[in-house]
Structure formats: structure tokens, C-alpha cells
Structure 1
Amino acid sequence: MKLSLAYLGPTGTNSETAALAYSAWLSDSQQVAATLNPHPSIALAMQSVIRGEADRAVVPIENSIEGSVTVVLDTLWRSPKLQVHQELTLPICHGLLSYADSLTDLKTVYSHPQALAQCQQWLENHLPQVQLVPTKSTTDGIQLLKNEPTAAVISAPRAAKIYEIPLLETDIKDSPDNCTRFWIVSSQISDRGSHLALAFSLPHNAPGALVKALEIFARRNINLSKIESRPTKRSLGEYIFFIDLEGNSHDRQIRDALADLAACTEVLKVFGNYNLLPIAG
């Protein structure tokens, strides 16, 4: 059996590292071979699954420093097909790649917005003079470095080896415990796993509307491991609530909770059950 895995490329991104780790797990534990297909954005990687061009996508969902990757949440909400199947967590390192001789020579730093945000304090303390330029991925700016001796890219140290770029700094992240959760999503139904992902919108913005929804889980002693709101993009003050909880959709208390939740929400979407994979970076 072979699977195609979509992810945010090009070569050397943290998403590729996650895809490689997941591919190795598939080979070792499932005897499944995987081919890796890079895409220029996270949204396009997910769209390739929706269109049937890839079997699964490996996408970042949350970073311990910067929080959720909102494009993943928004794409899940808009798509009727995508389901979350598995989760893996990897430690993230951010090196500073450049042909410059020293930090004082730098005028520009390129990287993905998430990486720039995860290194914000370091950049403010060590490179307050530089212009920060967001790119589609942590490796997109590398091709610019040969023609810009005063530029640097924040990327994984692995990318420095792949592209043979000097490392000015090995790791500039703002926290020693910088980790990112990655979800493996596909268009197949996912009803196995220890955790459940879902989202809902409320029929009206009224006092106690959200409390009423959340009490459904509290009454049944269901643990919510994460809750986050995103704007509906319809009107200011209207939100979609994304929830991760512990439990399986086949459990009696989870089934009853989802039935009650459907009765008091405008739209309820269940993104599927998923397991936490024992993959170490």
C-alpha cells in the first residue's frame, strides 16, 4: 500500500520534517510506503487532499509559543470533507542562516510569519535594526541569500545543511520548549482515536449562549484539552468555537454530548477522532 502525503514545502521546512517522521512511522508500524508532495502553502496542501490529489496532508495546527495556525482551522471549517486522523508533536529549532560575517551586517531577515513570531524577542534584542520580511515558508527566502549578503533567513538547522548555507546562530527561538503539534488530515471518515476535534457556531450572540454549550461537556465530566475562537467572517462579534476533547465519538457520553450540542448551536462540525502518535523529534 502506498500513500501520498502533502505538506508545506519546499525542502527543509519543519512541515517536511514532520512529514518525514510520519512517513517513517507509517513504514515501521503500518508497513505503508509514503511519497512526499511539497506545496507552496498550507492551504494548498490541504486543498490537494480535498481534490483527491493527495491521500493525506501533514499540517501544523498549534505552536507552543505562537499558538494556533489559523489557516488550518479556517480550512477545516470551510471544507465538508477534511477529517483529522492523527497528531504528532515535534520540537522546533530556528537557526539564522546567512552569508553575512556577523549580526551587525544584517539588514533583512526572511521567514514564515510563524517563525518570525516564535523568534520575536530574540530579534528585538539582537537585531532591532533589521527589516522582517514574511515568506510562504521558512525556506522560501533561502534562494535570495546569494544575491543579498546583508540578508538572513530563519529556518531549521537542517535546512542549512541541505542548502549549504552558513549558520550565524544555531537556535534563536524565544523559548527552550518550542514545540509544534501537527495534524494528519484526510478525506476519509475518522472515528477511531482517543481525542475528538470539532467546531460550532452559535445561533445568536446572547448572554450565556457559550456557557450553555460548554456546560454540556462539564455535566458529563468530559475534559476539553483546547478551546479557541475564530471570527465567522460574517459580522464583527460573531465567532466559531474550535474544541479538542478527550474521548471517542462512539462513547455513550460523547454521543449524548454531541446530540445536545447540535440542539443548541447554529452549525456543528465534527472533524473526527485522532490518536496522539508516539513520534519523537
Structure 2
Amino acid sequence: MKTSGLVELEAVLAVARHRSFRAAADELSVSTSALSHAVAALEARIGVRLFNRTTRSVALTEAGAQFVGSVAPALSTIREALDQAGSFRDTPSGTLRINASVGAAKQVMPVFIAYLQRYPEMKLDLVTEGRLIDIVVEGYDAGIRLAETVPQDMIAVPFGDRQRFAVVGSPDYFAKHKPPRTPADLKAHRCVRSRMPSGQIYQWEFERRGQAVRVDVEGTLTLDEPGLMLAAARDGLGLAYLTEWNVNADLAAGTLVRVLEDWTPPLDGLCLYYPGRRHAPAGLRALIETIREHADAVRERASSPAKKSRRGAAAKG
């Protein structure tokens, strides 16, 4: 648990975030019993119950909700002051809590590894989930998502190349079904449907020459995880709509075939984002610098073949 002298407040906020003493204890790296004692001690001191507890659930009382609403901003300010003081250290230390989608986390892992190797006193606590959250309310230092989903009041640091979606199917599937030429043709195909974190079924999005189209595809299988969708497409259960990052290896190996490519224009890529109204702690600033260095290295590698080609052509001329 944090050693700021505010352990009881940190305990209450963690339980309020997770609605679970066990999950909150895991976040704070303490035992469930220690966390429970900390919360109970604070309740006893103020003379008010903050949580209603049963064997199956934990919920804020009315007094607890009001207390958390008042304490969370104040504690955030205190954390910021501590971070600012800690930024004078020569080497960043502490823990960064980051929220990301599973796909984003997989793409950013090489940067995280380089970051931890460079700053051994830092710890990263990465939580992956599909739903978009308020990272401030949920107690995260930063998030990583596609640029188009980043809230406008956040500072965004671009990471990686622009991304595209791809409609793919197996060679066996296309041996039995005529490939679609337009999004409207998807109505005649079996598709692997995608359930969003909200529970809604995702409508596949397309655009060409300024014409935007959404298709509510049909299919016998609905999934909520890209890896499972990829496996289903490989097995010929239908067409899938996934990011290029997920399907490039299969396209290169020939285990999947792409269609409707001219209907899937590139989108802005991933961004790390964080609250603009806060002072960025030293550890986060160091991560941002590592991300930028990684992006520069990727661009340099991408441009190297072109440079070599031009030098070769000049030598032959």
C-alpha cells in the first residue's frame, strides 16, 4: 500500500473503484484483512459506515458516495504534489497505472519492456479492458487507445503508425463463397459478429470517396475478443473485421484472404493520453520520452530501404 500517510483514504478509494475488497487489496499489494481493517478503522473514527458489505457484493452507502466524491479530488491533488516533489529525483521511481485495450497493450509491450529496463526503479501496473473509462475517476495515470477515442480534454501522445481495419476470410471459405465487392454484398455472407464492451453488436464501418457505410452483419457466431475472431475466421466460420495488426501475419502466410480493402481507409493510430490539467509525474514523462524515441526509431527503419534504394540508383546512374 502507498506510504504517503493516507493509507486509509487510499484504501477507501480503491474499494470504491473495484467494488471489491479483494481486488482493491491486489491493487494496493496488501492482504484483504489489512485493507478491511484500514477501512473499518476510518469508519470507526468518523462514526459512519461507508460501505454496505454482503458475502457477494460491496456497495457505497449514501454517506460513502458523498465522502468519496469529496475526497477523491483532494487526494488527487495531494498525489500530484508528491509527484512534483519526486520529479526532482535523478531517477524516476514509483508505480504508473495504465489502462489500455488488449490490442493496444500487445502493440506497446516492446516500449514497456524498454522502459522498465531503462528505469529499474519504476513499476508498471497495466490493466486491459475493452470498455472506455474515465482514467481520472478510475485512478489511472494514463490510458492507451486509438486516437479517435481519446477524450478531447486529454493530452495525447501519438504512438505507432496509422492503422486500418481489414475484412478477412479463409481460403476455404472463399472457395465456397464469392468474395464481396461492396459492403452491401456482406448481407449474403456469414460473418463473425463483434460484441462491444457495452453489450451492443458492432456495426462494421466502411468509407470510400467520402461515402460512409455501416453494415449490421449476419452470422452464427458472436464474440468479444479479437483473438477468438481471428481463430474463427481461420477455421472458415465466416468473415471477420479486425485491425491489420491482428491479421497481417495470416495475410502474409496465406491463411487468410483480404477483401473490401478499398473500403477501409487508414485511421489515426494509438495514443498514450493523460489529464492535461495535471502535472505529469517524472515516471510518466520518462515513459512519454521512451514512446517518442521508439516512434522515431520505427520511422527511421521504415525510411531506410527507400534511402538505400535511392543511393543504389544514384550509384548505377
Q: TM-score, normalised by structure 2?
A: 0.38
Bigger-Rg structure (1/2)? 2
| Structure number having the greater strand percentage | 1
Q: TM-score, normalised by structure 1?
A: 0.41
Specify which structure has the bigger relative contact order, considering alpha-carbon pairs within 8 angstroms and separated by 6 or more residues.
1
| Structure number having the greater helix percentage | 2
